[in-house]
Structure 1
Amino acid sequence: MEVTHSAFTIAQATETKSEEDCEDWDNWSTERESDSATSHGGVDESHESFSNTVDSLLQESLNSFLDEGPILHPIEHQYSELKGGNSSFSSNPQSTRDFVADCLSLVCECKGFEYSIVWEIDNKLGLLTAKTGYYIPGCGKIKTFYNSSMTLRAFPLGLEIPGRVAYSGQVEWCDHVHEEAVCRFHRVNEAKMYGVQTVLGIPIACGVLEFGSSQKIPQCPQILRYIHNVCKPLLYCLQDSTW
């Protein structure tokens, strides 16, 4: 009887141990799954945080470009082979014209303007005449206003936006030129006819940069800073009369 009881006790103990082992295994498996889930969750959260940081940096860079202009001027770099000696662009007149047009187009397309004109001062005659410019393809009636300004106009110093800006050396920004008196804006009739609302004049060494739009573009220091940064390389080639 003692042997039988001992065998029964051992069997019972073995069965109990087996149940405990199974329970321990189940607990370990559950903890492992929990740890794994937590680990994956941490990875997902880390990845999401990194992604958000990258998105934030990209957005910050884009905002900086739109507000301030490019840190490394892409167009100036593209045409760097034109420079020689004292940054002269006169070695290739056609490429110089392309360079100017590219700078003007960058401002127009990024800041909502539809055309730009470079007004050059003739110091002997005291007149500003259109030297070159740019308009956005497909801009409709604005193209006609641009063409008439380029071919039919010359302004004495002190008259109209180009003349006043060249005379005073101060920026002039009007977002309602279609409502101006003729004595203030000689092209007011064309502006009404072709839907021009905003004209901006910026003084440069050789004359005036004019930007215009059919939209109302309120005065904005960031836009002026952007234009300065983008168009700064133009100072070298616009002062050269050989192209």
Structure 2
Amino acid sequence: MSTQPTVLHVDDDRSVLDLSSERANDAAVTWLTASDPADGLTTLTDRDVDCLVSDSIRTDGGTPFVVRAADVDPDLPVVLFTAADRESIPGATHHVATRHVEKETGDAFATLLDHVAAVVPMPGDARVDDPDTTNGSGIAPRPERRAAGPDRSGAWVPIERYEWRDESTDLATTIVTAVEEYTGRDASAPPLYESIDAEMLEALLSRPDGDSRSGIQVRFFFADQELAVTSEGLILLRTETGGE
């Protein structure tokens, strides 16, 4: 992967592409766009793309575009950015898409950039200085597990994003898994509940209907790490300061 990640956004609405490009201007990322599925496939073939953002569009043959994209690069992270809700999206598309963002929900473009940051490792100088400013204007990294351990600069780093409506996993498991993947250490002992009640945390940050609240952040210590969870579902870790 190049030093500056490359994201391809494919949508048949040019105004949406213009807006996403504008919002990505301040991000440490190369933002490419294509308004036609055929052009999108060509870009995926010709360029080294690190993440695909796509509407739930189809190719001329009727195949979902993201399915064709997976044929080109099976390991490519895909963020589905669409006005369609989950229930109306074909299963084949869901199988390919890593994440799903609805266009009509809140500040959709900020949410989109947060999701991209969660699946694409970013350059080391593109970190979030504070969880309160994670709004897409300074897209932040989701570091891969590294043998040398995490960065110790004292910056806030987003390590995962929890989907409040996703019933396939719970918040506690998501937090523990994210910490383990980032630090490379077992985070199961002591258990999370000794640090914070994950059910109460979820109740505080999300509404009963599954939508997130706005502008809430909870910080706590777990597994020798300082963590923050925001009402947008972003899980952040404050890296250590000092030397080894």
Question: Given the two structures, how large is their TM-score scaled by the length of structure 2?
Answer: 0.31
Q: Which has the greater radius of gyration?
A: 1
Question: Given the two structures, how large is their TM-score scaled by the length of structure 1?
Answer: 0.31
Greater helix percent: which structure? 1
Name the structure, 1 or 2, with higher relative contact order (CA <8 Å, separation 6+).
1
